């Protein structure tokens, strides 16, 4: 006979427990309202900034948010979208896909007035892009992943080049750049993170096909406190040039290169992401301004960072900096993502006005048309100008803060590449260009994966 | 009302409940501080991914990984669970010997960091830092994964798994095996003296926990369609530990409550914090940072005020056992 | 071959940085029985304290004192107001580990809004690059090695020859017996936290000098390596920590020279795992890691 009996034990009724859970879930998910039909509708509009605001890439979110603030101020200052005021809200993906899914779903569930989304970096794009696309939300994404080079997601837009193209442009700079003979011995130094991985594969493929010698292909662990042995190893292969990105560790690595090479710096070519005040500061602190100026080049989309579109952006960014005191918006005025995402939001807004609809299935195709323009389109540089031209019955092409955009059939915006450097204040300076033929040669070698 | 978000919460709740039950078996019932827990969930997820994905030349070949066997449901989920258990064997053999508990904990923590670093750098194995994307979920060929009906289907697949795991764990906890585990947790030397083999007991529960953890990973990866090293950094294990502690160790209901309160409730509730608080817009990174501070306070607070958790482990009393007046344990039940 | 000699030199620097930190960490464990997982964060905070002093124009070697003071203060406060109350309450070893983890989470995330996410750098003159028989080191790096050596000798001297040191060793061996012999264990423990906190602070500053940039995220990175070194040498054994630091530092850099450098951290930790399998108590401890009786 079993004398063992459980002591005081309350049995939790599973059914009750599950009903309670279900109730909680239902409560949490509520927040929708009816969609508008035809016309621009009424009430405030929201742009979601879906990006990392915590975790390893926490510095990304604020720079995208700043671009959104500037765009919102520009739009609202011109009367809003059909009178509807635009505001921005951050939705933290925590920099990883598993947290990004509830963030995206919570954002959509809780806000029926989303006019567009910006952000979606390579940390989370693979999971959130399908979610946003199925909810018909136009997005301007920052991810450089090759999987989006030929995407079928019609609401996906990318104004920055895929990482593979950056890699090709860097090779182009090494082979065809101004001021030096073609480099023969190339060192690849990239981090082991997602953002860097997407450069190396295409770069290696292209270099091998073109018959250029890869001195060393080195992956370093970003954020480590020193790379002296790695640097020494690299130096022993005697490269002519180093192709690199290594966000966050560039100062450490390049500083040690200079140190261990007896004070002599090796030329280095950076990706478009290195054209960034923080990268500039880190590397200049490590190797000094003179060596930086003499040895650094980078590649970038033909980004102008000047002109009436950019001026409007800077004006609004300054206003945003004052209005949202914690945002430090003005520090991002030279940052490519901030500028590009600003343009993305202006495009969304102009598309809504042009289509005279708040229904994304109607205005999403207009984004393409307004960015690329049709023959005879009036060029406009600000939201206000665009609205005025549309009112006068004209078709428009928005050439914004980052300059022209040219979407291809997969909503990837491509144009030629500039070879650039940064002046003593960290401002971008164009020093050359790759021709179409040169770019094509490298793309053909590396493959448009 | 948005059914997608509701479904997301339901699936995540299911996954977290399963994970917390597993961790509770290892930590709550048996006293093994498995600071590498998340690695087992990751192993299950990667296994399910490479079993269900097409070969890595698919979609233009932008990722490289082993496997790619395109097997249908439920093989990937079963495979994930099995691999989670298999992984527990070498890890257990290395760590679960006569090491004192805090040493075990530290070695497991370091193993977790090593594993993450290895997978990140061995790019051809599981596609490195980028991880594996476009993982097909169960029945994704028959039902459009982006449709609402798929969400319902997925919740319908997750729920039986939760119930199954709960049933199995309850059987374990209330069985003689469970009693042995608790005895070992409370006083290992005494348990050894009456003939229990702690190393064997620990290995068994480690493997069982690994199997369940692997299953939770398989379920999650089928839903979010992506798995990368960033998803399983070692702080994720800490969240689950907080859940088990807050909910109440040693009992499955406590584990369930903990899973609902911490990874689901707490992490999701903080998404609801309004962007402006009375007109003041906080700096962009402030609220996310404060969330982590709050989690830390939650752990410390619970350990101070209610170390037994929301739902304490029920004290089991033998009928007819002598009641000692100074026995606080009896009084507490 | 030249690469390996150079790597040896680099390993020495790494070892120096790790050693200062690991000795402090292991003493906290040995004497107060506390695996302080907030140690890395305290290093990071001290690094920032020195940074702000350095920004105000003070030479970094002098600002190091500010770092040491910050480390001592923060460690003392942590122990006095967080760890001791829980230990008095009877919280078990694992509970204490979890609490220190929670503390590290909080410290890091409280620092973030204060100092931001970007990296910072000290203003430091590295000095000339010296070459000798394949070794390649700057003057500043040699200075770091010297500082580490001095601190190791100081710790050794304190433990061996001072009354405080003897009291520490007694408390580590058996606190109850020490108390019965009239040693004010509570006060000894407070002093231990102050001293190890200062070591932690110096380690934080030196790590920042060594790596040229650091950020809030650096804290977690330091911790794992320090734990590895401490456990390798035998937890609670200061001399073990020094040896463990040397091994980890040298092996890390030599393996980076020999094989693909992205695995160098993994190799170091694999050594740790190997030691745990073969000699779980670490190299010097007699019993350390083994299951305590009761």
In this prediction, residue B220 carries a pLDDT of: 96
Tens digit of each residue's pLDDT (9 = 90 or more) over B121-139: 888 899 888 899 989 999 9
Q: What is the mean pLDDT of residues A186-190?
A: 93
In this prediction, residue B161 carries a pLDDT of: 96
CB count, 10 Å around CB of C1? 6
Min Cα distance C103 → chain B (Å) is 6
- Residue in A closest to B174 by C-alpha: A6
Residue A189 has pLDDT above 90, yes or no: yes
Domains and CATH numbers, chain A: 163-299+419-446 (3.40.50.2300)
In this prediction, residue C35 carries a pLDDT of: 86
Tens digit of each residue's pLDDT (9 = 90 or more) over A59-87: 889 999 999 999 999 999 999 999 999 99
C264: which chain A residues are within 8 Å (Cβ-Cβ)? 221, 229
CB count, 10 Å around CB of C11? 25
Per-chain mean pLDDT for chain A: 85
N-to-C CA span, chain C: 52
Q: What's the Rg (C-alpha) of chain A?
A: 24
Is B95 within 8 Å of chain C by CB? yes
Residue C275 has pLDDT above 60, yes or no: yes
Say if the Cβ atoms of A233 and C253 lie within 8 Å. Answer: no
> Would you place residue B222 in the very low, low, confident or very high pLDDT band (cuts 50, 70, 90)?
very high
CA distance C122 to C131: 24
Q: Locate C173 and state its tokens.
A: 């061996």
- Taking any CB pair shorter than 8 Å as contact, residues of chain C touching chain A are 2-3, 6-7, 10, 13-14, 17, 112, 117-119, 121, 126, 129, 136, 138, 207, 210-215, 217-218, 221-222, 253-254, 256-257, 260-262, 264-265
Mark which residues 5-44 of C lie under 8 Å from B by CB. 35
CA distance A146 to A376: 34
Residue C113 has pLDDT above 60, yes or no: yes
Residue A237 three-state SS: coil
CA distance C167 to C122: 38
Domain count, chain B: 1
Residue B1 has pLDDT above 70, yes or no: no
Say if the Cβ atoms of B307 and C91 lie within 8 Å. Answer: yes
Is C209 within 8 Å of chain B by CB? no
Tens digit of each residue's pLDDT (9 = 90 or more) over A341-379: 999 999 999 999 999 999 999 999 999 999 998 999 999
Min Cα distance B149 → chain C (Å) is 40
% of residues, chain A, pLDDT over 90? 45
In this prediction, residue C286 carries a pLDDT of: 58
Q: What is the mean pLDDT of residues B197-212?
A: 92
CA distance A407 to A371: 7
Say if the Cβ atoms of C7 and A278 lie within 8 Å. Answer: no
CB count, 10 Å around CB of A193? 26
The pTM of this model reads 0.85
* CATH of residue B210: 1.10.3470
CA distance A296 to A311: 27
In this prediction, residue B322 carries a pLDDT of: 60
- Smallest Cβ distance to B228: which of A54, A149, A194? A194
Min Cα distance C22 → chain B (Å) is 15
Long-range Cβ contacts of A109-112 (<8 Å, 24+ apart): A109/A29, A109/A31, A109/A32, A109/B1, A109/B2, A109/B4, A109/B5, A109/B6, A110/A31, A110/B2, A110/B5, A110/B272, A111/A31, A111/A46, A111/A48, A112/A31, A112/A32, A112/A33, A112/A34, A112/A35
Task: Provide the ipTM.
Answer: 0.87
Is B305 within 8 Å of chain A by CB? no
Tens digit of each residue's pLDDT (9 = 90 or more) over C83-108: 999 999 888 777 888 899 889 989 99
Beta pairing class for C135-138 and C129-132: antiparallel
CB count, 10 Å around CB of C217? 17
Between chain A and chain B, the number of residue pairs with CB atoms below 8 A apart is 184
B314: which chain A residues are within 8 Å (Cβ-Cβ)? 6-10
B193: which chain C residues are within 8 Å (Cβ-Cβ)? none
Going by the DSSP 8-state scheme, the letter that residue C83 receives in this structure is I
> Would you place residue B166 in the very low, low, confident or very high pLDDT band (cuts 50, 70, 90)?
very high
C117: which chain B residues are within 8 Å (Cβ-Cβ)? 285
Phi, psi of A296 (to 5 degrees): -95, 130
Q: Residues A300, A272: contact at Cβ < 8 Å?
A: yes
Mark which residues 45-64 of B lie under 8 Å from A by CB. 59-63
Yes or no: domain C2-278 corresponds to CATH 1.10.3470 = yes
- Cα three-residue angle B53-B54-B56, rounded to 5 degrees: 100
B110: which chain C residues are within 8 Å (Cβ-Cβ)? 224, 227-228, 269, 272-273
Q: Locate B139 and state its tokens.
A: 């029945």
B279: which chain A residues are within 8 Å (Cβ-Cβ)? none
Residue C289 has pLDDT above 50, yes or no: no
Selection from A220-224, A340-344, B96-100 with the highest mean pLDDT? A340-344
Min Cα distance C135 → chain B (Å) is 29
CA distance C121 to C124: 9
Q: What is the mean pLDDT of residues A330-351?
A: 90
Is C277 within 8 Å of chain B by CB? yes
Min Cα distance A67 → chain C (Å) is 18
- Residue in C closest to A262 by C-alpha: C129
Tens digit of each residue's pLDDT (9 = 90 or more) over C225-271: 898 888 888 877 888 999 999 999 998 888 888 887 778 778 877 88
Min Cα distance B314 → chain A (Å) is 6
Q: Distance from CA of residue B40 to its chain's centroid?
A: 8
Tens digit of each residue's pLDDT (9 = 90 or more) over C29-77: 888 888 899 999 999 999 999 999 999 988 889 999 999 999 999 999 9
Domain extent at residue B42? 3-332
Helix C2-32 to helix C163-173 angle (10° resolution) is 80
Say if the Cβ atoms of C261 and A255 lie within 8 Å. Answer: no
Q: Residues B132, B65: contact at Cβ < 8 Å?
A: yes
Tens digit of each residue's pLDDT (9 = 90 or more) over A13-47: 554 555 445 444 444 444 444 444 468 888 999 99
Per-chain mean pLDDT for chain B: 87
In this prediction, residue B2 carries a pLDDT of: 82
Tens digit of each residue's pLDDT (9 = 90 or more) over C182-191: 888 888 999 9
In this prediction, residue A302 carries a pLDDT of: 64
Q: What is the mean pLDDT of residues A88-113?
A: 92
Say if the Cβ atoms of C93 and B98 lie within 8 Å. Answer: no
Tens digit of each residue's pLDDT (9 = 90 or more) over B256-294: 999 998 888 877 877 777 777 777 778 888 888 888 888
CA distance A310 to A343: 10
N-to-C CA span, chain A: 72
Q: Distance from CA of residue A404 to its chain's centroid?
A: 16
User: Of A138 and C170, which is predicted with more confidence?
Assistant: A138
């Amino acid at each position: 006979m079993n004398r063992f009996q459980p002591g005081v034990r309350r049995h939790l009724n599973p059914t009750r427990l599950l009903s309670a859970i279900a109730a909680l879930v239902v409560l949490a998910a509520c927040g929708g309202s009816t969609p508008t039909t035809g016309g621009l509708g009424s009430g405030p509009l929201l742009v979601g900034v879906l990006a990392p605001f915590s975790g390893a890439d926490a510095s990304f979110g604020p720079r995208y948010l700043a671009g959104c603030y500037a765009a919102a101020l520009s739009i609202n200052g011109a009367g809003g979208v059909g009178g509807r005021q635009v505001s921005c809200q951050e939705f933290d993906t925590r920099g990883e896909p598993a947290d990004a899914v509830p963030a995206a779903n919570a954002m959509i569930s809780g806000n029926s007035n989303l006019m567009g989304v910006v952000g979606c970096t390579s940390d989370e794009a693979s999971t959130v892009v399908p979610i946003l696309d199925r909810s018909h939300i136009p997005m301007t994404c920052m991810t450089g992943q090759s999987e989006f080079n030929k995407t079928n997601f019609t609401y996906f837009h990318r104004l920055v080049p895929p990482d593979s193209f950056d890699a090709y442009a860097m090779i182009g700079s090494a082979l065809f750049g101004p001021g030096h003979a073609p480099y023969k011995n190339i060192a690849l130094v990239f981090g082991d993170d997602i953002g860097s991985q997407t450069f190396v594969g295409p770069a290696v493929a292209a270099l091998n096909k073109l018959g250029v010698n890869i001195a060393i292909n080195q992956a370093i662990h970003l954020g480590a406190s020193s790379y002296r042995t790695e640097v020494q190893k690299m130096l022993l292969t005697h490269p002519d040039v180093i192709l690199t990105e290594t966000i966050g560790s560039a100062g450490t690595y390049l500083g040690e290169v200079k140190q261990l090479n007896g004070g002599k710096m090796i030329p280095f070519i950076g990706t478009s992401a290195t054209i960034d005040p923080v990268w500039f500061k880190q590397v200049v602190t490590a190797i000094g301004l003179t060596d930086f100026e003499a040895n650094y080049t980078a590649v970038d989309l033909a980004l102008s960072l000047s002109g009436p579109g950019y001026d409007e952006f800077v004006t609004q960014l300054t206003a945003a900096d004052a209005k949202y005191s914690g945002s430090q918006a003005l520090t991002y005025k030279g940052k490519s993502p901030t500028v590009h995402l600003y343009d993305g939001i202006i495009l969304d807004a102009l598309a809504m006005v042009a289509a005279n609809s708040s229904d994304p299935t109607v205005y999403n195709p207009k984004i393409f048309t307004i960015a690329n323009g049709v023959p005879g389109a009036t060029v406009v540089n600000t939201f206000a100008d665009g609205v005025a031209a549309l009112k006068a019955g004209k078709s428009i092409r928005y050439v914004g803060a980052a300059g022209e955009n040219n979407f291809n059939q997969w909503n990837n915006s491509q144009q030629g590449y500039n070879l650039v450097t940064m002046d003593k204040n960290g401002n971008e300076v164009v020093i050359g260009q790759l021709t179409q033929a040169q770019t094509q040669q490298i793309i053909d070698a590396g493959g448009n994966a | 009302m948005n059914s997608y978000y509701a479904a997301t919460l339901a699936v995540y709740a299911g996954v977290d409940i399963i994970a917390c039950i597993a961790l509770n078996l290892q930590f709550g019932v048996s006293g093994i501080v498995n600071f590498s827990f998340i690695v087992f969930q990751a192993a299950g997820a990667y296994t399910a991914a490479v079993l269900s994905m097409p070969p890595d030349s698919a979609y233009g070949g932008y990722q490289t990984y082993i496997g790619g066997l395109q097997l249908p449901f439920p093989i990937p989920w079963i495979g994930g669970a099995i691999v989670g258990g298999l992984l527990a064997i070498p890890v257990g053999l290395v760590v679960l010997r006569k090491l004192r508990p805090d040493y075990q904990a530290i070695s497991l923590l370091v193993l977790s960091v090593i594993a993450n670093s290895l997978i990140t750098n061995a790019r051809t194995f599981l596609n490195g830092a980028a991880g594996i994307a476009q993982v097909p979920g169960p029945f994704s060929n028959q039902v459009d994964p982006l449709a609402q009906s798929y969400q319902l289907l997925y919740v319908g697949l997750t729920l039986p798994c939760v119930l199954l795991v709960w049933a199995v764990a309850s059987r374990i906890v209330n069985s003689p095996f469970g009693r042995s585990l608790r005895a070992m947790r409370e006083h290992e030397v005494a348990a050894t003296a009456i003939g229990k083999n702690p190393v064997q007991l620990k290995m068994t529960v480690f493997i069982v926990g690994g199997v369940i953890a692997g299953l939770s990973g398989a379920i999650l990866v089928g839903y979010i369609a992506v798995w990368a090293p960033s998803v399983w950094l070692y702080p994720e294990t800490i969240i689950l530990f907080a859940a088990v502690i807050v909910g109440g160790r040693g009992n499955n209901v406590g584990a369930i409550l903990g899973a609902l309160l911490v990874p689901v409730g707490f992490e999701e509730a903080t998404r609801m914090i309004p962007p402006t608080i009375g007109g003041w817009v906080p700096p962009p990174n402030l609220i996310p940072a404060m969330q982590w501070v709050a989690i830390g306070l939650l752990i410390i607070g619970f350990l101070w005020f209610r170390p037994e958790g929301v739902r304490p482990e029920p004290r089991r009393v033998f009928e007819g056992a002598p009641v000692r007046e100074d026995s606080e344990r009896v009084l507490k039940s | 071959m030249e690469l390996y000699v150079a790597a040896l030199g680099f390993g020495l620097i790494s070892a120096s940085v790790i050693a200062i930190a690991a000795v402090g960490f292991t003493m906290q464990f040995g004497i107060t029985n506390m695996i302080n997982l907030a140690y890395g964060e305290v290093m990071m905070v001290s690094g920032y304290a020195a940074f702000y002093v350095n920004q105000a124009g003070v030479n970094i070697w002098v600002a190091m004192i500010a770092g040491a003071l910050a480390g001592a203060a923060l460690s003392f406060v942590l122990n006095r107001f967080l760890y001791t109350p829980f230990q008095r309450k009877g919280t078990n070893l694992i509970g204490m580990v979890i609490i220190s983890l929670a503390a590290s989470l909080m410290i890091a995330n409280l620092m973030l809004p204060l100092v931001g996410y970007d990296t910072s750098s000290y203003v430091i003159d590295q000095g000339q690059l010296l070459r000798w028989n394949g070794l390649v080191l700057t003057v500043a790096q040699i200075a770091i090695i010297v500082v580490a050596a001095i601190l190791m000798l100081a710790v050794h001297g304190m433990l061996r020859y001072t009354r405080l040191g003897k009291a520490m060793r007694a408390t580590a061996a058996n606190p109850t017996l020490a108390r019965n012999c009239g040693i004010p264990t509570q006060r000894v423990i407070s002093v231990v936290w102050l001293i190890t906190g200062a070591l932690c602070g110096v380690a934080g500053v030196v790590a920042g000098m060594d790596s040229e940039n650091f950020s809030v995220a650096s804290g977690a990175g330091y911790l794992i390596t320090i734990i590895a070194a401490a456990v390798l040498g035998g937890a609670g054994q200061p001399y073990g920590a020094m040896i463990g630091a040397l091994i980890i530092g040298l092996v890390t850099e030599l393996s980076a020279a020999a094989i693909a450098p992205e695995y160098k951290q993994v190799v170091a930790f694999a050594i740790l795992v190997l030691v745990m399998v073969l000699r779980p108590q670490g190299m010097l401890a007699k019993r350390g890691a083994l299951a305590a009786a009761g």
